[in-house]
Chains A and B, each alone.
Chain A
Amino acid sequence: MATLNTEANIAAPDDFYERLIATHRGLTDAQSALVNARLILVLANHIGDPGVLAQAMAAALDGVGAAADAGGG
């Protein structure tokens, strides 16, 4: 099974991050949430591998939600 790559994999990380934030410029919070959801779906389709996607979802969920709330954030 393919493994989720969480090592640095983007050649120019600061360029990427700037572009990511710029994508949201001028959007309302609701529009931003929608753009983020669409972005995830587009990227998920690109990745394709269900095992990798499941690992990515787990990594994203880790530390968020009930467990984190109990810790007081």
Chain B
Amino acid sequence: MKTYTNPVYPYARPAELDAPGARRPVVIVGAGPVGLAAAIDLGQRGVPVVVLDDDRTVSVGSRAICYAKRALEILDRLGCGQQVVDKGIRWNVGKVFFRDELVYRFDLLPEPGHRRPAFVNLQQYWFEEYLVERAQAVAGVELRWESKVVGVAPHADHVDVTVATPDGEYTLECDWIIAADGSRSAVRQLLGLEWEGQVFHDRFLIADIHMKSDFPTERWFWFDPPFHPNQSTLLHRQADDVWRIDFQLGWDANPEEERMPERILPRLRAMLGEDADFEIEWASVYTFQCRRMQRFCHGRVLFAGDAAHVVSPFGARGANSGIQDADNLVWKLDLVLKGLAPDRLLDSYDAERTRAADENILNSTRSTDFITPKSNVSRTFRDATLGLAKKHAFARRLVNSGRLSVPAILVDSPLNTPDRDPDFAHGPGAMVPGAPAADAPVAGPAGEWLLSYLGGDFTLLGFDAAVGPFGVAALARDPIPCKVVQVGGKPTAGATTIEDVLGLAVRRYGARPGTVYLLRPDQHVCARWREFDLPSVRAAIARATASA
């Protein structure tokens, strides 16, 4: 590749090869986006963690390239969001073409006042490189390269992990394993666990090309374009003038042949013109599938990311959902490890994230069925929809080139405390229990975005000094502490006060003076009230930690 050289991380001979080591609280298998996010989060919480990866570098090839707003917000909490956003390419607008006509345009973030854009595009190798750098800077995170898991032996109170290295095998004893080792998960296979779903009968060519172009920074999707008849094509811009082009090939295509430059170049020339000046960076031919494990928690082995669930790529729901898995899991595991919550808190990880996986699978299956119709009649409906879409608004809503990743709203979570006050909003975008906290511009000691003040620990967000000094002090002293952030009003001892500079926090939270929101450590709302009441907040925290 012209624009990127994969780093080579050093393998170090593990001490356990010579003498058994102490039991580790957490071993993470897989140093991809999900494993690294989990490792950084655990490290930030003071939990020592060993990360095992069978390779000694980051992703080979650009692979997952679209990182959604919610994933970026999670990375902000992990201390590496800015790097990804600075290097990545921001985009909000998508366009859909049928043959050579624009039929549909969408803007994923028409509303200002959020720190992060709807999406940035960035090659997965850059993304992982930044996470590796961050993980190396967090105390207690140990990355072990060329360390392949070849055995997993679960016991009642711990797990033995056998690791193969260039110097031989050793066994690591740990309390918990997070298996984030991708769709071909070695851990899943070693435990003989199944996953269910479907494989789609279609093949796609991904070509990354290096090209100077003033093409707009938008997602362009073509159905049946003149340069690639009867199939679809997707174009995305990535960092460093690298462009991702995805050609649908059909099920009969020969993957070995389609990978060859002499097959790829004519496709690119037809699309970009005979005079276009570009070089191929990387190319791959793939099929895809939608499946998930029935359960993500198997005793002390916890599955996350592609190891637990895979989707077709239309909608960018792979890495983005895996990062939300890590975000959801780590605070719970931390409380369990510290003895502050029972093991069954992890059941809520399973409940919340299997539901999110189902939503992702549903959406990406529908997109795939639209892009790759399975029957003549399905194709007829698809083409009829596209034909009507140029003139008629209703048909534009039916066009499906990918429903792009949106954060999971954990509405049915057992950790939520149902609303007691009847006048809270429930519509789309409302901060219902289960919703991830909305961002807003603010002024205060920790920067100018609301989300910087929320999460990590439980957070009580009060409006107009809703929480008095006694409540603030009591919550800070509880075994599971809860910090207090107040929007507006007089400063309260022990609480952080911020100003709602544009009034957007009040609007987005439907707040009145006295309103309080309880946020989980992963920034999801778990309870809200029109006035502060200490026993209610404590009860909601107990419920949100499966301790009620």
> A29–B392 contact, CB under 8 A?
no
Using C-beta atoms within 8 Å of the partner chain, give the interface range for chain A.
20 to 34
Residues of A within 8 A of B363 (CB): 14
Instruction: From B77-85, B163-171, B303-311, B375-383, give the one contacting chain A.
Output: B375-383
In the complex, A27→B370 CA distance in Å? Answer: 18
Residues of A within 8 A of B396 (CB): 8
Q: Answer whether residue B397 sits at the interface, using C-beta atoms and an 8 A cutoff.
A: yes
Task: Knowing A6-B391, A6-B392, say if A29 contacts B376 (CB, 8 Å).
Answer: yes
A9 and chain B: residue at smallest CB distance: B394
Task: Knowing A21-B381, A29-B376, say if A8 contacts B397 (CB, 8 Å).
Answer: yes
Q: Answer whether residue A20 sits at the interface, using C-beta atoms and an 8 A cutoff.
A: yes
> B393–A32 contact, CB under 8 A?
no
Residues of A within 8 A of B387 (CB): 63-64
> A21–B378 contact, CB under 8 A?
yes
Q: Answer whether residue B388 sits at the interface, using C-beta atoms and an 8 A cutoff.
A: yes
Task: Knowing A24-B375, A24-B377, A27-B377, say if A14 contacts B393 (CB, 8 Å).
Answer: no
> A21–B393 contact, CB under 8 A?
no
In the complex, A25→B378 CA distance in Å? Answer: 9
Q: Answer whether residue B400 sits at the interface, using C-beta atoms and an 8 A cutoff.
A: yes
> B397–A10 contact, CB under 8 A?
yes
Within the complex, what minimum Cβ distance (angstroms) separates A20 from chain B?
A: 7
In the complex, A8→B99 CA distance in Å? Answer: 23
Within the complex, what minimum Cβ distance (angstroms) separates A23 from chain B?
A: 9
* Chain B contact residues, majority secondary structure: helix
Task: Knowing A7-B394, A21-B381, say if A14 contacts B400 (CB, 8 Å).
Answer: yes
Q: Answer whether residue B158 sits at the interface, using C-beta atoms and an 8 A cutoff.
A: no
Q: Answer whether residue B366 sits at the interface, using C-beta atoms and an 8 A cutoff.
A: yes
For window 1-39 of A, CB contacts with B under 8 Å fall at 5-10, 13-14, 16-18, 20-21, 24-25, 27, 29, 32-33, 36
Residues of B within 8 A of A36 (CB): 377
Q: Answer whether residue B95 sits at the interface, using C-beta atoms and an 8 A cutoff.
A: no
Q: Answer whether residue B398 sits at the interface, using C-beta atoms and an 8 A cutoff.
A: yes
Q: Answer whether residue B543 sits at the interface, using C-beta atoms and an 8 A cutoff.
A: no
Within the complex, what minimum Cβ distance (angstroms) separates B505 from chain A?
A: 30
In the complex, A39→B1 CA distance in Å? Answer: 54
Q: Answer whether residue B403 sits at the interface, using C-beta atoms and an 8 A cutoff.
A: yes
For window 202-240 of B, CB contacts with A under 8 Å fall at none
In the complex, A32→B381 CA distance in Å? Answer: 11
Q: Answer whether residue A69 sits at the interface, using C-beta atoms and an 8 A cutoff.
A: no
Residues of B within 8 A of A21 (CB): 369, 377-378, 381
Within the complex, what minimum Cβ distance (angstroms) separates A58 from chain B?
A: 11
Task: Knowing A10-B397, A14-B400, A14-B403, say if A32 contacts B391 (CB, 8 Å).
Answer: no
In the complex, A36→B376 CA distance in Å? Answer: 13
Q: Answer whether residue A54 sits at the interface, using C-beta atoms and an 8 A cutoff.
A: no
Residues of B within 8 A of A33 (CB): 377
> A13–B398 contact, CB under 8 A?
yes
A32 and chain B: residue at smallest CB distance: B377
Within the complex, what minimum Cβ distance (angstroms) separates B198 from chain A?
A: 13
> B393–A6 contact, CB under 8 A?
yes
B377 and chain A: residue at smallest CB distance: A32
Within the complex, what minimum Cβ distance (angstroms) separates B99 from chain A?
A: 8
A17 and chain B: residue at smallest CB distance: B398
Task: Knowing A24-B378, A59-B388, A64-B387, say if A17 contacts B394 (CB, 8 Å).
Answer: no
A sample of 30 cross-chain residue pairs with beta-carbon separation below 8 angstroms, ordered by A number, consists of A5-B394, A6-B391, A6-B392, A6-B394, A6-B395, A7-B393, A8-B396, A9-B394, A13-B394, A14-B398, A14-B400, A16-B398, A17-B366, A17-B370, A17-B381, A17-B385, A17-B398, A17-B400, A18-B369, A21-B369, A21-B378, A21-B381, A24-B375, A24-B377, A32-B376, A32-B377, A59-B391, A60-B388, A62-B391, A73-B99
Q: Can you add 12 more A-B contacts, CB < 8 Å, to A13-B394, A21-B369, A32-B377?
A: A6-B391, A7-B393, A8-B397, A10-B394, A10-B397, A14-B366, A17-B370, A17-B381, A18-B366, A29-B377, A32-B375, A32-B376
Closest 3 CB pairs of A and B: A32-B377, A6-B392, A13-B397
